[in-house]
C-alpha cells in the first residue's frame, strides 16, 4: 500500500463519481475526488435539477388558465424571469454544498481542480501535485455538442447558457428534436416566448415509440410551438440584439435568441487518456469499457456519460455504485442496462420503459398492442384541448409486457412504478388482474382489455 497515495482517485464530482467515492470510502478505501468546476456535475448544476425547477415554474401559466373552469377568478398574473433565475441559483448552491458535505463526511478528500492522467496509476492536479492511485475512476460526464461549424455559430447558446439568461427571450429558435430541445421549447413557450423548433429528421423524439412521437408533436403544436422538420440551421446572423436564423430549406426566422440542443459528446479531451493507454470506443466516441466499467487499462475505470452508453443520471449513479461494490466490496456487480425507464419533461410529459412497437416487431413473431387516447378528467372542466396517450407493447406468444409508453401529466411518476412490473417480467394478465385506482389516468393501464393492433410476422418461405 505504501506505493500508493490513495486507493481510489475519482476524476469528476458529478452524481456517478460522488456515489462511487462514497461507497468505496464506506468499504474502507482511501479516496480522493477532483472536480474542476462545481460539485454535483451536469445533473445538479446545469441539467436535470435546474431544468425540472424551470419545468415546474413554467406549468403555473397553464394552471392559472385551467383554474377558470373550476370557478377561480384570478387577476392577471405577471412573471419575473430574474426572480426565477435567482431562486434557482440559491437552490443549486444549496445542493452543491450538500454534495460536497456528504462526500467529505464519508471520509473522501475533495480537491477543486482539474486532474489529468499521467500514466495508468498517476494523476496530475493543476496545482502541480501528483497523486498515485491503486485505481482511477473517470466520471467526467458530457457536454453540449453544436455539431458542424456554420457561419454565426458563436451566436448560438446551449442548455448551459439557457439557465443563466439575463432576460426571457421574446422569440427563440431551438435546433434539435430530443429531450433537451423539447423540454426547453415547452419551458420557454409556457413562460410566454414565441418558440420555433428546427429538426433535421422527419419527426421529433427519434428512437421513441412512433405513437409517442406523433402525439407529442401534435400536443406541442396545439400550444403554439412551431415545429419545422426535415431542415437544419445553416447560418445565424446578428443584428444588434436580434438574430436571423437561416435554414436549409431557404427560409429564415427572426428571434432574439438561438439555442442548439442537437446532442452531447463525452468529456474525453485533454484528460491524458493517450498517455495512460485508455481506449476510445470508435462507435460512440466515449471511453470504451466492459460490463464492469473497466477500460482497456486494468487500473482505470469509467462510468456515466463519458462512456456514452446511456446518458442518464440514475444510470451513472448505478454504475458508480456497482464499480465500488465490485472493486472495493469484493462483490462483483454488473449493471443491467435493459429496460431503463426514462422521461421527457416536455408539455405534456413523456414516460417510457421497455421496447417500442417497432423494436418488438423486429424481435418477436407475435406482438399485441393495447393503446388508448383520452381526454383527462381535468380537461373536461378546464376546457383545455389536450389528450393522454397510453400504450402497452405485449409479446403475443407469452403475454409478457415488453414496453409501456405514456404521454400526459405525471407520466414520469407513473412509469417509475410500471418499470418495476416490466423488470419483473409481468404479463398482460398480471396487469388485467390488478384492480384499478379510480379516478386516475393510470387506471387505463389495467383496464385496457381489447387488442388495438395485432402483428404476426410471417415465416420466411
Enzyme catalytic residues: 438
> 455: closest CA among 388, 397, 384?
397
Which residues have C-beta within 8 Å of that of residue 9, sequence separation ≥ 6? 31, 32, 33, 34, 115, 123, 131, 133, 135, 136, 137
C-alpha cell at 307: 462512456
Rounded CA separation 384/62 (Å): 9
Q: Are 308 and 286 in contact (CB under 8 A)?
A: yes
User: Helix axis angle, 48-58 relative to 81-105, nearest 10°?
Assistant: 150
Q: Are 28 and 327 in contact (CB under 8 A)?
A: no
Rounded CA separation 134/120 (Å): 9
Secondary structure (DSSP) of 133-176: EEEEEE---EEE---S--TTGGG-B-HHHHTT-SS--SEEEEE-
> 415: closest CA among 441, 438, 394, 439?
441
Rounded to whole angstroms, the maximal C-alpha distance in the chain is 73
> 159: closest CA among 187, 201, 196, 139?
187
Rounded CA separation 207/342 (Å): 12
Secondary structure (DSSP) of 302-342: E-GGGGTS---HHHHHHHHHHHHHHHTSS-------SS--E
- Cα separations (Å) of 309 from 58, 300, 306, 352, 364? 31, 17, 8, 18, 25
Which residues have C-beta within 8 Å of that of residue 278, sequence separation ≥ 6? 117, 138, 287, 295, 296, 297, 300, 302
Q: Are 305 and 314 in contact (CB under 8 A)?
A: no
Give kind and range of the element (H or E) at residue 131: strand 130-138
Secondary structure (DSSP) of 246-311: EETTS-EEEES-EEE-S-EEE--TTS-HHHHTPPB-TTTSSB---TT-B-SSTTEEE-GGGGTS--
Amino acid at each position: 500500500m505504501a506505493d500508493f497515495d490513495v486507493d481510489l482517485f475519482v476524476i469528476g464530482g458529478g452524481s456517478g463519481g460522488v456515489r462511487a467515492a462514497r461507497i468505496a470510502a464506506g468499504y474502507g478505501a482511501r479516496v480522493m475526488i477532483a472536480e474542476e468546476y462545481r460539485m454535483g456535475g451536469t445533473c445538479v448544476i446545469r441539467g436535470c435539477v435546474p431544468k425540472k425547477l424551470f419545468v415546474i415554474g413554467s406549468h403555473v401559466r397553464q394552471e392559472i388558465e385551467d383554474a377558470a373552469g373550476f370557478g377561480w377568478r384570478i387577476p392577471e398574473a405577471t412573471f419575473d424571469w430574474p426572480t426565477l433565475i435567482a431562486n434557482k441559483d440559491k437552490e443549486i448552491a444549496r445542493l452543491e454544498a450538500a454534495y460536497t458535505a456528504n462526500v467529505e463526511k464519508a471520509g473522501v478528500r475533495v480537491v477543486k481542480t482539474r486532474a489529468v492522467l499521467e500514466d495508468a496509476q498517476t494523476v496530475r492536479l493543476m496545482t502541480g501535485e501528483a497523486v498515485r492511485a491503486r485505481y482511477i475512476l473517470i466520471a467526467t460526464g458530457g457536454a453540449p455538442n453544436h455539431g458542424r461549424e456554420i457561419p454565426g455559430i458563436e451566436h448560438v447558446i446551449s442548455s448551459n447558457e439557457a439557465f443563466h439568461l439575463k432576460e426571457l427571450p421574446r422569440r427563440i429558435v431551438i435546433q434539435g428534436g430530443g429531450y433537451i430541445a423539447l423540454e426547453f421549447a415547452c419551458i420557454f413557450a409556457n413562460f410566454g416566448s414565441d418558440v420555433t423548433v428546427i429538426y433535421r429528421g422527419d419527426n421529433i423524439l427519434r428512437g421513441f415509440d412512433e405513437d409517442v412521437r406523433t402525439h407529442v408533436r401534435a400536443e406541442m403544436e396545439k400550444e403554439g410551438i412551431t415545429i419545422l422538420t426535415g431542415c437544419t440551421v445553416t447560418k445565424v446572423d446578428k443584428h444588434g440584439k436580434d438574430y436571423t436564423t437561416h435554414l436549409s430549406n431557404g427560409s429564415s426566422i427572426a428571434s432574439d435568441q438561438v439555442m442548439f440542443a442537437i446532442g452531447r459528446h463525452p468529456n474525453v479531451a485533454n484528460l491524458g487518456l493517450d498517455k495512460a493507454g485508455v481506449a476510445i470506443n470508435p462507435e460512440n466516441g466515449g471511453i470504451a469499457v466492459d460490463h464492469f466499467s473497466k477500460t482497456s487499462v486494468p487500473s482505470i475505470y469509467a462510468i456515466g456519460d463519458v462512456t456514452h452508453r446511456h446518458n442518464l443520471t440514475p444510470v451513472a449513479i448505478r454504475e458508480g455504485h456497482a464499480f465500488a461494490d465490485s472493486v472495493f466490496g469484493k462483490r462483483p456487480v454488473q449493471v443491467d442496462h435493459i429496460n431503463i425507464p426514462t422521461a421527457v419533461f416536455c408539455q405534456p410529459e413523456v414516460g417510457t420503459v421497455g421496447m417500442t412497437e417497432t423494436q418488438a416487431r423486429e424481435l418477436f413473431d407475435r406482438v399485441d398492442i393495447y393503446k388508448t387516447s383520452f381526454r383527462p378528467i381535468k380537461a373536461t372542466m378546464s376546457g383545455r384541448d389536450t389528450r393522454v396517450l397510453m400504450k402497452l407493447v405485449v409479446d403475443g406468444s407469452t403475454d409478457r409486457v415488453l414496453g409501456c409508453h405514456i404521454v400526459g401529466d405525471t407520466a414520469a411518476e407513473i412509469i417509475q412504478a410500471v418499470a418495476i412490473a416490466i423488470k419483473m417480467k409481468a404479463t398482460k394478465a398480471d396487469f388485467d388482474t390488478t384492480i384499478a385506482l379510480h379516478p386516475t389516468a393510470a387506471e387505463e393501464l389495467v383496464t385496457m382489455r381489447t387488442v388495438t393492433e395485432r402483428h404476426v410476422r410471417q415465416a420466411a418461405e
